[in-house]
Amino acid sequence: MEKAKHKPFGNLLMGIRFSSLLKLIIKNGISLKPVYILRFFALLPTSLISELFMIIEIIKYRRKADQTVIEKPPVFIIGHWRSGTTFLHQLVFLDKQFTAPTFVQTVIPEHFIFSTKYWVPVLEKMVPKKRPMDDVEMKPEVPMEDEWALFKLGAPTPFRKIFFPSRKFRFYGGTGEYIPEGKDLVKWKKIFLRFLKKITFLTKKRIILKNPFHTPRIAILAEMFPGAKFIHIVRHPYKIVPSTINMWNIVSGENAFKSGWVAPTVGETANVINDFWESVEENRKTLSELCFTEVRYEDLEKDPVGEIKRMYKDLGLIFTSDFKNEITMFMAAKKNYKKNSFNLSQEEMGIITEKLRNYILRYRY
């Protein structure tokens, strides 16, 4: 499988508080090599500023934000990484009835109510215009995956293994790793709910979230937010597998604080796709009517208006002519977007086909 070229990004822990960063380093360790030491020191200025800004936000906004009521349950876009979750999130974010965590809010989740106006110009200068693994635009106001914010806020998540890899405890495990239990679950719920309340406090809109990490968490999310809606997106596994391997290699390579990263194999990645899918198949049966729909990426790309309109009908959401026009303009602006291209060997395709046979049959791949 060929490797894709990429440009350096910025460390994904930019904006984390110093005390939180220090706890992570003490708990997980750091390799004493120049590249890792430099990453730590590069985060110090923004982490120290975040300590101050968080205190200010707590004084000015914490009580009001905590008292905010999330009246309409969120809509969750789920599916394996590289299956088109970002594309779908960008499209639905065009609907004015929705809001979503933005890039800047996931960078500074502990104090974005107070400090967004100060951070936007910083991000515009420091962060590359596009993601390192593809050509998706990175602007402060674009919708972003919330797992990044949850990790910075101290929520239990396997995302930690990207920053602190280990040959013994590898990142790509079973679905159980994504589902907190006991005290960890209580902590995870508290952190997640506070984060969503802050967004609701600012926007007063219904939230739509895109997060592949949430894919195995349907039961937890449905219990937290009765009436929550789920959109499951799938894509041909020949596209997902190599793109996922490329993504995680890049993300860990640019963000890790210690050595030990082991690239996922084609077989391991296919297993995770299958585990995610089986989890969705099991949990969708427990959801009420108008709470679940799914779409193939290939169909969405071919007819975004038609597919989103169908999904809205499945979920009991209102599809407006203004939203239709927004989608049309968005697609026109993205007509020259270039997707990554990977070449799989016959052996690799055989492995994927064997491990995902039922998935391939179900979605007509």
Residue 303 structure tokens: 């007819």
Contact call for residues 194 and 66 (beta carbons, < 8 A): yes
* Tens digit of each residue's pLDDT, the chain (365 residues): 555 444 444 688 999 999 999 999 999 999 999 999 999 999 999 999 999 999 999 999 999 999 999 999 999 999 999 999 999 999 999 999 999 999 999 999 999 999 999 988 888 777 666 655 555 666 778 899 999 999 999 999 999 999 999 887 777 777 888 999 999 999 999 999 999 999 999 999 999 999 999 999 999 999 999 999 999 999 999 999 999 999 899 899 899 999 989 989 999 999 999 999 999 999 999 999 999 999 999 999 999 999 999 999 999 999 999 999 999 999 998 777 666 678 899 999 999 999 999 999 999 99
Residue 296: Cβ within 10 Å count: 18
The architecture (CATH level 2) of 18-362 comes to 3-Layer(aba) Sandwich (3.40)
- CA-CA distance, 268 to 351, in Å (whole number)? 10
User: Helix and strand tally (H, E) in the chain?
Assistant: 17, 5
- CA-CA distance, 124 to 142, in Å (whole number)? 12
Contact call for residues 54 and 111 (beta carbons, < 8 A): yes
Task: Output the CA–CA distances (angstroms, integers) from residue 116 to 22, 43, 102, 119, 195, in the order listed.
Answer: 24, 18, 10, 5, 15
pTM higher than 0.85, yes or no? yes
- CA-CA distance, 213 to 101, in Å (whole number)? 15
β-pair partners for 246: none
Strand ranges, E, within 6-90: 75-78
Structural domain spans, the chain: 18-362
Contact call for residues 222 and 179 (beta carbons, < 8 A): no
